């Protein structure tokens, strides 16, 4: 299956670089380019890409507002947003995650990391493994003024599903969740998918955001990738 990618960045040189990198992958195709947020939204609605590689700071409509518009559009429900930013500890990234982005990468990543990131979010996973992302989510999404702590949002979940959502928010993969709860990886994945379905969220990144906003997970629960 070919992953269809839309690139949104206001700098033509950067778009050209991304186009060359993404176009070199045999499993990807660049279907369009946008120079600002409004164009990104319009092209997403027209082309229905699998992944939008979105810059945060753009004219007309910034990447956060564009992400919010795309994720709120039922016609774009199959499109995932991967945020690229120069500032990996930028509060704007937290806004993009709250708006529905599936994760973010710094613009200085190696080409292979960009391609792997696109593949990851295209599968419905979240790109939330870097330590910078964990710190950012804990700082901005878990604060009372940001979250409002609405535990009733989790009422539809079983006790096990709440436990699984908490582990997703703590940074564990399906395999790590399975080991932690003494389940098979398939069963862990089923619990994650059921939780997403019940909560009406798009992917694991949205589960992480909701876990913080509901108060299910506190900032101290965040661990960096590779930590026990």
Determine, yes or no, domain membership for 227: no
Please check whether residues 72 and 22 belong to one and the same domain. Answer: yes
Please check whether residues 8 and 87 belong to one and the same domain. Answer: yes
Domain boundary among 69, 93, 127: 127
9-61: per-residue pLDDT in tens? 999 999 999 999 999 999 999 999 999 999 999 999 999 999 999 998 888 89
Burial class of residue 91, CB neighbours in 10 A (0-12, 13-18, 19+): exposed
User: Bridge partners of 34?
Assistant: 8
Rounded to two decimals, the pTM is 0.69
CA distance 186 to 27: 25
Give the number of domains in the chain: 2
- Spatial CA neighbour of 202 closest among 112, 128, 99, 111: 99
Other beta carbons within 10 Å of 32: 18
Q: Which residue has the tokens 């604060």?
A: 143
Please check whether residues 108 and 216 belong to one and the same domain. Answer: no
120-154: per-residue pLDDT in tens? 889 877 765 444 445 555 555 555 444 445 667 78
Query: Could you tell me the residue range of the domain that residue 79 belongs to?
Result: 3-127
């Amino acid at each position: 299956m070919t992953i269809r990618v839309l690139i949104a960045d206001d700098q033509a040189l950067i778009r050209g670089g991304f186009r060359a990198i993404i176009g070199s992958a045999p499993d990807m195709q660049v279907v369009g380019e946008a120079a600002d947020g409004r164009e990104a939204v319009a092209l997403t609605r027209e082309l229905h890409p699998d992944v939008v590689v979105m810059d945060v700071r753009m004219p007309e409509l910034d990447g956060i507002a564009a992400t919010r518009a795309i994720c709120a559009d039922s016609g774009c429900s199959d499109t995932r947003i991967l945020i690229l930013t120069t500032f990996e500890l930028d509060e704007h990234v937290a806004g993009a995650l709250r708006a529905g982005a599936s994760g973010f990468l710094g613009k200085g990543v190696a080409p292979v990391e960009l391609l792997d990131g696109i593949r990851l979010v295209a599968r419905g996973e979240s790109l939330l493994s870097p330590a910078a992302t964990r710190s950012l989510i804990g700082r901005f999404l878990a604060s009372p003024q940001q979250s409002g702590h609405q535990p009733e949002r989790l009422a539809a979940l079983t006790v096990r599903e709440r436990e699984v959502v908490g582990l997703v928010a703590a940074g564990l993969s399906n395999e790590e969740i399975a080991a932690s709860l003494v389940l098979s990886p398939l069963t862990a994945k089923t619990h994650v998918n059921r939780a997403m379905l019940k909560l009406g969220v798009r992917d694991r990144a949205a589960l992480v955001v909701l876990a913080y906003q509901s108060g299910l997970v506190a900032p101290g629960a965040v661990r960096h990738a590779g930590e026990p």
